[in-house]
Each structure stands twice: as structure tokens, then as C-alpha cells.
Structure 1
């Protein structure tokens, strides 16, 4: 797609486009960033809503907030994840990644169930990496035939499995709906 096509669809002039964006890649990176910020906002709302719940319930709520949009719009997000790798600067990617890890850290640190003295940041990094990795790689490699329910099940098993090793008491008596 050319810049001429972009400005035609947007209904703006070339001068207006270049006043805000230096290239199509810059526009694409900002659009991706805004979509990811929407997910971050949903995750923040999830953290607030589930703050007093048992650890496994808080984890489920955060996973749902983190994966709902990509799984509902699998083909779009597949393209976005691929495009993100081409147009986003590593500093911007790292900043967003750190923001998501911070939300996982808040989940572990602020509610019941996380053991005193257990490493929070390391566990948060692992939980986010599992979630982001499974969803982004599944969408990139097989977006058209993705089964969102099956992927959610695999994702929940992976994250809960890891966290149950870190916080076994929080999971010992918890019953999962299958």
C-alpha cells in the first residue's frame, strides 16, 4: 500500500500525513501500539475487578483480558504480530513488554495466595512470556484454523502449571472448572 492510498482512505492531505508520521512504518507502529494499549487497559481493569479473589481466579481474569482481542480477531492479530516485528523499534517493544510484566507482578504481589519471599518479578516475567508466546506464535503460525477454546485451555494449563509450582498453597485446594 502506498502513502497516496493511505491518505486517500484517511481523507487527509500528504502534508497532514507527514506532519504526524515520517513513514507508513511509523503509522503502522503507532496503530499497533494503540491496539496493544487497549489490551493493557483491559488487563488493568481486570486487576482492579479481581483484586481480592484467589490467585487462580485472578490469573484466569488477567489471561482472559490479555488474550480476548487477539483470539476474537485471530487473522487481524496474526498480521499485527508479524508487522510488529518489522516496524516496531526494540525499545518500544521492550517498554510495552515491561508494562505487561509489571501487571503480572501486581497480580502476584497484591492479592492473596502468593508466598512471602517468593520471587515475584521472575514469576511475572515467566507468566507473561508464556501467555504472549503461546498466543502470538499460535496466531502467526496458524491463524485461520485456530481453536480459541483449545488454545485458552493450553494457555491456562501452562500458566497455572508454572504458578502452582511457585505458589503451591494457593493451588492446593483450588478446584478448576474444566
Structure 2
């Protein structure tokens, strides 16, 4: 059964509390490399994080809340990383075409996902098992907004920017998520990247 939303009992306002919550998330991810999420116990997570069981319940009411927050943070960190990379491209290049710009960003994203392939495969799977439609839409909208920020230097028209950003997200997310859901140990990343770039070019360039 899907959870109605992420329920965090106490938000970590102090640095120590924030580190504790992050330690719980990191422990879950480490255990996830060993076995499926439903086989991981809260006790195992807290033991690995070096905190007591009571500490877990200060922040979360159940394991699924920790998983949902871990997914959200993973997606958010990826979005911030991609925006930083895009900004570096703008600063370092005196002239960069939209096509080259988008191609470099997609290449960077593919490489980042490939480097953490197992974690992304689990993220897409758990997203479907844990996240409800409200949480899913929130994460998806966050990624669309990320693309809007990235593409804004090349697209002035607001409506066109929104439509193009949505289509880029549809292409990238659809290709990668469906691939890793079907084949967790997928290896033909160069071919996948070419397919994404080809689809993006055919879908997006007529709009610009």
C-alpha cells in the first residue's frame, strides 16, 4: 500500500540532528546494496548508523518514511548537481549552441547515473513501491523546474521554455527509468545515450 506522503516527525534544525538523519539515510543505502528494502529492518539501519532505536522514531514513524525521504534527497541532489554543471558550461564557453549545450548536459547526466547504476535502479523501483502520486508529482515537477533553470539561457519565451523542459524530462526520465527497471545491470550506456540524444533532437529542435 502506498503511503499518503512523507511523514517526518522532527525536522533537523540543528547540525547534529541533520547529521543523524543523514546517517540513517546513508545506512539504509549501504544495506540496500546487500538485499532488498523490505528485508532491511529498522534495527539494522540504526545499528549501522550508530544510533539507538529511539532516535529513529524521533524522526520517522516507519521505515517507509525514511525510504521516501531518501529517494527525495537523492533526486534533489542530482538536480542540484546537474544545475551546477550546466552553470559551469555557460561560464567556460564563450559560444555554445543549444544543441551542443544540451548534448553535454545529457552526457554528464548519463555518466552520473551510470556511476551509481545500482542505486538509481533501486530508486526507480522503490519510487513505484513507496511513493504515492503526490510525492511522485512533486519529484517530477522538481526535475522539470531543474530543466527550466538549465535551458533558460537559450529559451526566452516562457511557454516554450516550460514545454521544452517538460519534453526533455519526459525523454531522459522515460528512457533511463524504464531501462533500469527492466534491466538493473544494463550495460549499453553509449547506445542509450545516442537514442536519448536522437529523440531529443527530433522532438525539441522543431520547437526552437
TM-score range, shorter chain: 0.7 to 0.9
The answer to whether structure 1 residue 128 and structure 2 residue 152 are counterparts is: no
Q: CA RMSD in A?
A: 2.1
Query: Which one of the candidate residues 42, 55, 58 is aligned to 1:3?
Result: 42
* 1:10 Cα offset (Å): 1.7
Query: Which one of the candidate residues 43, 61, 67 is aligned to 2:104?
Result: 61
What TM-score results when the alignment is normalised by the length of structure 1? Answer: 0.82
CA distance in 2, matches of 1:20, 1:84: 20
Q: State the match for 1:163 in structure 2.
A: 204
Cα distance change on mapping 1:54 and 1:82 into 2, 3 Å:
same
The answer to whether structure 1 residue 153 and structure 2 residue 194 are counterparts is: yes
8 Å contact from structure 2 (residues 82, 109) kept in 1: yes
Q: State the match for 1:99 in structure 2.
A: 142
Runs of at least 4 residues off by over 6 Å: none
Q: State the match for 1:29 in structure 2.
A: 68
* 1:22 Cα offset (Å): 1.2
CA distance in 2, matches of 1:4, 1:33: 22
8 Å contact from structure 1 (residues 104, 124) kept in 2: yes
Cα distance change on mapping 1:23 and 1:65 into 2, 3 Å:
farther
Q: State the match for 2:23 in structure 1.
A: none
Equivalent position SS for 1:22: coil
In the TM superposition, what whole-angstrom CA distance separates every residue of 1:53-102 from its partner, at most 9, and x where no partner exists? 21012212321343333222222211111011122233232222112212
What TM-score results when the alignment is normalised by the length of structure 2? Answer: 0.71
8 Å contact from structure 2 (residues 179, 186) kept in 1: no
Q: State the match for 1:49 in structure 2.
A: 88
The number of aligned residues is 165
* 1:12 Cα offset (Å): 1.2
